[in-house]
Amino acid sequence: MKIAILTLPLNINYGGILQAYALQTILEQRGHEVHIIEEVQKPLKLPIYKMPFCYSKRIIKNIIGKKCYILYEQKYNRELPFITKNIDRFINKNIHLAIYKDFSCIKESEYDVIIVGSDQVWRPKYFGVKQIEKAFLKFTKGWNIKRISYAASFGTDEWEYTHEQTRKCSMLLQKFDKVSVRENSGIDLCEKYFNIKAQQVLDPTLLLSREDYINLFQSSNIQKSKGNLLCYILDETEEKKELINQIANNKRLTPFNIKAKNNNINTPLTDRIQPSIEQWIRGFYDAELVITDSFHACVFSILFKKPFIVYGNRNRGLTRFNSLLESMGLKNNLILNLNEYDDNKDYSINDECLKKLSDLRKASLKFLEHGIYGKN
């Protein structure tokens, strides 16, 4: 069958790219022709009505000694391809993109099935507050195709839709043949606000095996990581740095990370180049222990059977972490502050976790198969 996957845009997000790659790969392994569909991404642009205020503010900052690029958007757009060149190389080689000016340009005859997911594709502030109906396939109105959501995520257990968004998206979701979500809280949200019964399934990255990912970096001749304590921290704080230093000293491990040295536009361009997807994966293979505040870093720690500690971030939301860790029997791996870390606690991946992963993988693949081949 010809299958389209609609997810969040593949930007600088290792987990987001790999979940799209994993779902594409699983479907292709089963003989389907698969494309990740995207709309043309517009360059960063300052709205005309904001220009006088923003440019004036930036000029004043420079006058008082605070370095600030007046034409920030132009500099960002010019440098982005260089910053993302390693990531783009993976996407161009491994992901089959179909890019449209607008999803409304897609013709019914192009696809037999459209799958929405995974990632936080149903979170309005991520997909786009004014665009969220597209994530419920508004552009397929009247089409005779299969509509499925696979591991779609709201990203939170709080309801972030307006009354009008809820009404419209609920009507669109009624047309879906199968609905699944990534978090257990998503089941409750679908039932309460959309009157839809959803099934919880695994994040797509967990459908592939450890060996599948090893093949990716081995075929690219990626160098060994420069350490054995992987520290993949998205939101750095002094407390997290203290945790890393404490663990490194106590366990005599060498910390390393797999991200750009700096994301500040005022720093040298070479320091802002993002490592490749393959290097990111290799980090988990080489690590003896992982410290992270990233959802997908937790996922890859589980896949590579590496002990890990996840430092929860309430601002980004704990729902994703709680759901994943609870389903794997790993709730003790989550800490919310430095005092909750216990050097004597076991943070390893045990046999119970691997058994649960195997069972959930079977159930998730069964959902996909029934969704694609089941009756409308």
For CATH 3.40.50.2000, the residue range(s) in the chain are: 2-43+79-207+359-373
**DSSP-assigned states of every residue in 197-223:** --EE---GGGGS-HHHHHHHHHTTTPP
CA 247 to chain centre: 27
Q: What are the start-end ranges of the H helices in 264-350?
A: 277-286, 295-303, 319-328
Give the DSSP H or E segment for 343.
Answer: none
pLDDT at residue number 376: 46
Residue 226 carries which DSSP code?
S
pTM of the model: 0.94
Q: Cα(154)–Cα(10) distance, rounded to whole angstroms?
A: 18
175 in helix, strand or coil?
Answer: coil
Q: Cα(290)–Cα(307) distance, rounded to whole angstroms?
A: 6
Span 163-188, average pLDDT = 97
Q: Cα(17)–Cα(87) distance, rounded to whole angstroms?
A: 9
For 115-172, how does the pLDDT look when each residue is reduced to its tens digit (9 = 90+)?
Answer: 999 999 999 999 999 999 999 999 999 999 999 999 999 999 999 999 999 999 999 9
Reported CATH class of domain 2-43+79-207+359-373: alpha beta
**DSSP-assigned states of every residue in 27-89:** HHHTT-EEEEEEEPPPPP---GGGHHHHHHHHHHHHHTT----TTHHHHHHHHHHHHTHHHHH
Tell me which residue of 155, 145, 83 sits closest to 115, measured CA to CA.
145
Rg (CA), the chain: 22
**The dihedral of CA 339, 182, 12, 283: what is its sign?**
positive
**Chain-wide mean pLDDT for the chain?**
95
pLDDT at residue number 375: 52
Span 296-309, average pLDDT = 97
Tell me which residue of 82, 327, 310, 373 sits closest to 203, measured CA to CA.
327
Span 242-248, average pLDDT = 96
pLDDT at residue number 136: 98
pLDDT at residue number 374: 82
Beta bridge partners of 181: 152, 200
Sheet holding 2-6, edge to edge: 97-100, 33-39, 2-6, 113-116, 146-152, 178-181, 199-200
Is the Cβ–Cβ distance between 254 and 229 less than 8 Å? yes
Give the DSSP H or E segment for 143.
Answer: none
pLDDT at residue number 219: 87
Beta-carbon neighbour count of residue 361 at 10 Å?
16
How does 332-343 read in b/e, with b if 16+ C-beta sit within 10 Å? ebbbeeeeebee
Is the Cβ–Cβ distance between 349 and 300 less than 8 Å? no
**Is residue 241 predicted with pLDDT exceeding 70?**
yes
CATH, domain range 210-356: 3.40.50
**Is residue 315 predicted with pLDDT exceeding 90?**
no
pLDDT-derived band at 314 (thresholds 50, 70, 90) equals confident
pLDDT at residue number 239: 94
